[in-house]
Structure 1
Amino acid sequence: MTAPDDPAPDYETIIVGAGFSGIGMAIELDRSGLADYLVVEAGDEPGGTWYWNTYPGIAVDIPSFSYQFSFEQSSTWSRTYAQGHELKGYATHCVDKYGLRSRIRFATTVRGANFDDAQGFWHVALDTAGVESSVTARYLVNASGALTVPNLPDIAGVESFTGVTMHTARWDHEQDLRGKHVAIIGTGASAVQVIPEI
């Protein structure tokens, strides 16, 4: 318990990321009566990996019924392995149904976080469209996920390639690939999903 003259943080909790983990954490904090939180999201909408990854053929690689919250079950998946837009829609549905949108700061990245032992607060540096700010919190939850930032391989000579390059995590929908020779580098889930579509 803090004394009345002890400084208070801006928020009890800051959650980094509005994907499934961040959304679930926010809902559970609300359900527990701990509603003094801020969710910080780099994207313009919720959904995490389902916001960032929009390549042709993207789908969940586990049965859809197990990729949802136990307290918010959906039976309307179009197929066993739902497409990415359905999962993004489900995330958006949860954000809106549980009233989270007003507590999510979209288009905001975390530039750094330091814990102040004397105050017992996290100092979190933020950037919202080039405007820097700082907020404090007692608790910092990293729900940023691992599948939203492209991991580009170091390929000798790639800088001399004159064609178009893109990573599936930042698919360029303006590119028309019809009638073109396309090389896919990698054999992971995104390659397996995108190849039949292009």
Structure 2
Amino acid sequence: MSLPAIAPLTSLPALQHPELLAAPTLAALRGWEHGGEVAVVAIDPDVADTAAMMAEYDLTADMGANCVIVSGKRAGVERIAAVLVRADRRADVNGLVKRTLDVRSASFHAMDRAVEESGMEYGGITPLGLPAGWRLLVDPGALEIDVVIIGSGLRTSKLLVPGYLLGELPGAEVIDGIGH
């Protein structure tokens, strides 16, 4: 089995390079039946944000997916979800995400809380290794990408995952219309 690859990035077996992964991401990959099918690529941390990375490495937004953390409350109970949406789309936070979480209003989770609670770096948050209790809402469009670039939990690297496997992530809820 060959590793997922995207030129000009250099693919390495993710499980063999723990130094390129956040601790929660590494633990999740080790426990996931498809962890061995995931590659990691080292990147310049100054270009970890999607637009900057795409420009730096001559990639297009339709090759990646962003993981945004959204939260809201209902009856005083906070509900949090990671929304994995194609990088060339936007998460429907005020529509479908809000309805799916069944909250009065939904917004992006505070950056400092997202970082602290996930154990991941801002600009590298990934759906692999999310805290227990967080839902994972997945844009079905991301599953259509052959090899998807997603966060690794760190700004110094990205994961390359066969797109169809995103629907197999632990806890994944593939929801039509979550990205537009």
TM range (shorter): under 0.3
Larger Rg: 1
- Whichever structure has more helix as a proportion of its residues is 2
- Whichever structure has more strand as a proportion of its residues is 2
TM-score by length of 1: 0.21
TM-score by length of 2: 0.22
